[in-house]
Amino acid sequence: MRLRNWLFQNFREVSQLYGFEEIDFPVLESEALFIRKAGEEIRDQLYCFEDRGNRRVALRPELTPSLARLVIQKGKSVSLPLKWFAIGQCWRYERMTRGRRREHYQWNMDIIGVPNVTAEAELISSIITFFKRIGITSSDVGFKVSSRKVLQEVLKRYSVPENLFGRVCVIIDKLEKIPIDDIKKELRSAELSEEAVEELLQILSVKSLDKLEEKLGASVEALTELKQLFSLAEKYGYSEWIQFDASIVRGLAYYTGIVFEGFDREGKLRAICGGGRYDRLLSTFGGDDLPACGFGFGDAVIIELLKERGLVPELSPQVENIVCSLDSDLQGGASLVAARLREKGKTVDLVLENKPLKWVFKRAARINAQRLIIVGSAEWQKGMVRVKILSSGEQYEIKVDELE
Ligand SMILES: Nc1ccc(Br)nc1
């Protein structure tokens, strides 16, 4: 819990550093919010059920659909751009045999109402700021960046219907996760011609913007946007963190433009975070479309990375005072001393039972108390208590009123 609080504190401080407002949504939503027909894993693993009102509901697997619903609900009552962040528990339903977690926490930052790539550049910058705060450098982690407009351009040239776009992206996202022949089979089952499949896989292997320009031509929007993003990255000073990689499409069907994911350069871990532009999501829920982009950053892989790099912080419990009485009829005195110290904002662990001093010293060490305050009858008669500084062993008597 201390490690989680430390992580979330950093999420929050970075979000506030970038001027984002915190929001939250219900963990339980209508199942319909997450029903998409693009064959996504997030759909297959939906933690859904029927509630006592016979409603189909689900524990949210991600936060973005709830954010979209909230933007629509707020409608004209909020002024754009919206810069919102949330840290929320998300769920999936997997068989326990897989031994994987069913719940995790995700930090999300989203910018609603900004159509140009300055929004994506800002989001990537915020994640890099987070990494730097916790000691992760560009030699530990990088970002693979691409745009789904690359795929869209290819599909258009092979007249693949628009409504297949999300599904094709979800299939492509499985590259390097399932055999290439299965990818080809799934693409063919999505009615892509043999030629379209080959051209698609060809373009996905492109690793430089120059090469992409050779393939697609300089005027293609995908290219101009990516060039803008890389030029902004240079101004932010984070060029060494990002690289173009056409194979990055991300596995969520609703992305429509720039997509990015944070990866560990040693290649041992799954993606650390990911996000992108989703300009068409609001209309899928009956709202008017607004330009939108955002990312999700889970609390699991980052902890594995910190462990790999020996960067997990030492977060021992810390309390300033432990207060005890030497006999049960002085328990009230101990409570009074504790109350006085707490009124002054001092943290106190009050021993609540009549325990021998040996037990108190053990507990003081376990909770890392700085000071032991003993209420004993002799001192109490004089309105005093005995104080022991646990690090130095120094001890002295002091009037209760002078305690601070
Ligand atoms: N979407 C999702 C939810 C929960 C976990 Br654990 N992983 C992914």
pLDDT tens profile 222-240? 999 999 999 999 999 999 9
Q: Give the pLDDT score at 268.
A: 95
Q: Give the pLDDT score at 97.
A: 84
pTM of the model: 0.94
What is the whole-number distance in angstroms between the Cα of residue 63 and the centre of ligand 1?
A: 11
Q: Which residues of the chain have pLDDT under 70?
A: none
Query: Probe ligand 1: pick from 41, 43, 47, 102, max atoms within 8 Å of CB?
Result: 102
Beta carbons within 10 angstroms of residue 328's beta carbon: 9
Question: Is residue 31 a contact partner of residue 57, using CB atoms and an 8 Å limit?
Answer: yes
Q: What is the layout of strands, in order, in the sheet containing 82-91?
A: 21-22, 82-91, 103-112, 292-298, 273-277, 258-264, 141-147, 242-244
Would you say the CB of residue 61 lies under 6 angstroms from ligand 1?
A: yes
Residue type, 292: A
Query: Probe ligand 1: pick from 48, 90, 107, 272, max atoms within 8 Å of CB?
Result: 90
Q: Give the pLDDT score at 99.
A: 83
Question: Is residue 61 a contact partner of residue 251, using CB atoms and an 8 Å limit?
Answer: no
Question: Is residue 337 a contact partner of residue 323, using CB atoms and an 8 Å limit?
Answer: yes
Would you say the CB of residue 167 lies under 6 angstroms from ligand 1?
A: no
Q: DSSP of 259-305, one letter per residue?
A: EEEEEETTS-S--SEEEEE-TTHHHHTTS----EEEEEEETTHHHHH
What is the whole-number distance in angstroms between the Cα of residue 102 and the centre of ligand 1?
A: 6
Would you say the CB of residue 104 lies under 6 angstroms from ligand 1?
A: yes
ipTM value greater than 0.90: yes
φ, ψ at 287 (rounded to 5°):
-95, 175
Residue with tokens 């030629």: 195
Give the list of residues 6+ apart from residue 349 with CB closer than 8 angstroms, or none.
Answer: 319, 321, 322, 323, 363, 367, 369
Question: Is residue 312 a contact partner of residue 306, using CB atoms and an 8 Å limit?
Answer: yes
Quote the CA–CA distance of 374 and 386 in Å, as a whole number: 5
What is the whole-number distance in angstroms between the Cα of residue 164 and the centre of ligand 1?
A: 25
Q: Give the pLDDT score at 59.
A: 98
Q: Give the pLDDT score at 176.
A: 86
Q: Give the pLDDT score at 4.
A: 98
Would you say the CB of residue 42 lies under 6 angstroms from ligand 1?
A: yes
What is the DSSP pairing of strand 141-147 with strand 242-244?
parallel
Looking from the CA of residue 104, the nearest atom of ligand 1 is: 6
Would you say the CB of residue 90 lies under 6 angstroms from ligand 1?
A: yes
Q: Which residues of 238-253 are buried (b: 16+ CB within 10 A; e: fewer)?
A: beebbbbbbbbbbbbb
Give the list of residues 6+ apart from residue 142 with CB closer than 8 angstroms, or none.
Answer: 241, 242, 243, 262, 263, 265
Cα angle 285-70-28, degrees, rounded to a multiple of 5: 85
Quote the CA–CA distance of 385 and 208 in Å, as a whole number: 72
* Residue 368, SS3 per DSSP: coil
Would you say the CB of residue 371 lies under 6 angstroms from ligand 1?
A: no
Looking from the CA of residue 102, the nearest atom of ligand 1 is: 6
* Residue 56, SS3 per DSSP: strand
Residue type, 258: I
Quote the CA–CA distance of 277 and 270 in Å, as a whole number: 21
